[in-house]
Structure 1
């Protein structure tokens, strides 16, 4: 699977009949490519994936309800459900809902933290306070998820108002892809920010999925 062509569609493994010991991953669509890659590389064939639209990140107040609906819809078909969302701006509501539903979720305040590794991200403290982060997905989808939703395609004069307090664009790369590095650098130029490249790989995302794969 390459880039998701349409963020408004639900993606899944396509399995209809499920045997015992199956795990459902309910994830943000922005993580679909990475999760499918990890599934393939590690042979986690007992794990299925359902992705909610990545555009929910533009409306974090809707994430908790959407995840809860997905859990209830699929609970009877699976032995275990794991939510591949961090807090993602829900102010602790997603964790509280997952606790109430009896399902686990990945740790961390957001994907930038768990891609870097939650401990490493926390150790940086305020060093990255004025940084704007992009992942592989956001570099590929920069116009759709950053430029256009912020109205910069229509009102470029808003750039300095929106990004005036940022100094750096940090590209957290999950893969070593020179073309994406060039595009990320161009994104930094468009935003008037200095550019920093960090190869994070999959960070705590891989560790968390591995723990689920082994456990179930």
Structure 2
């Protein structure tokens, strides 16, 4: 596999030709997934990523995953989904139960990167926090600022972010440039800023058990 600069609008696949486990993942996780595969030299996986921009339109997630599962079910020993519920309101889990496919536990990537138990323990404190991952810090302008229309309608800023108090950047890597970008994003939307290094969290653990 080759690491690429994943764009928010892209749908793409990483195929090593040897994989017997298909990972169906959000494009926002692609860089981390490929990093883990390359660092650990895992040969078991092929990866199909759906567009990260669906963070803003979660109604596309379930149909997209259904299509990927049904197109590939006979080609792989197993399929594993690397998505949280991600705003599908339980519909993703209903689909996966029907298809006999499992997913990584957690409501969204912020939880399984942080560790679901650790995330839940801070749930009350973080109820007014807006989370950024490495990917979202890297693509804030494209995915959040432009993706939510704030470049064209800045007057919408209070409607989108008026109930938040801070941006929490949960970092997968120790990258000073991304930390600066996350801090700038917080300033841009008028929120306090907090940095937490969490690494790959349960994403790495779940992949390891299936490698």
TM-score class, shorter: over 0.9
Alpha-carbon RMSD across the aligned residues, in angstroms, is 1.3
Distance in 1 (alpha carbons) for counterparts of 2:52 and 2:161: 22
Consecutive unaligned residues of structure 2, counting only runs of 5 or more, are none
Distance in 2 (alpha carbons) for counterparts of 1:98 and 1:202: 24
Name the SS for the 1:27 alignment partner.
strand
Q: Are 2:94 and 1:92 equivalent residues in the alignment?
A: no
Q: Are 2:14 and 1:12 equivalent residues in the alignment?
A: yes
Name the SS for the 1:44 alignment partner.
coil
Which structure 2 residues correspond to residues 194-209 of structure 1 after superposition, within 5 A? 194-209=192-207
Distance in 2 (alpha carbons) for counterparts of 1:56 and 1:176: 26
In the alignment, is the contact (CA less than 8 A) between 2:8 and 2:28 conserved in 1? no
In the alignment, is the contact (CA less than 8 A) between 2:8 and 2:53 conserved in 1? no
Distance in 2 (alpha carbons) for counterparts of 1:157 and 1:89: 25
Consecutive unaligned residues of structure 1, counting only runs of 5 or more, are none
Shift of 1:61: 1.7
**Which deviates more, 143-152 or 157-166?**
157-166
Distance change (3 Å), C-alpha of 1:195 and 1:26: same
Q: What are the Cα deviations for residues 116-146 of structure 1, in whole angstroms up to 9, with x where unaligned?
A: 0001001113110100000000011101110
Q: Are 2:15 and 1:54 equivalent residues in the alignment?
A: no
TM-score by length of 2: 0.95
Q: Which residue of 1 aligns with 2:154?
A: 156
Which structure 2 residues correspond to residues 60-139 of structure 1 after superposition, within 5 A? 60-139=58-137
Could you list the structure 1 runs, at least 4 aligned residues long, displaced by more than 6 angstroms after superposition.
none
Name the SS for the 2:167 alignment partner.
strand
In the alignment, is the contact (CA less than 8 A) between 2:16 and 2:43 conserved in 1? no
Shift of 1:176: 0.2
TM-score by length of 1: 0.93
The structure richer in helix per residue is: 1
Distance in 2 (alpha carbons) for counterparts of 1:90 and 1:116: 21
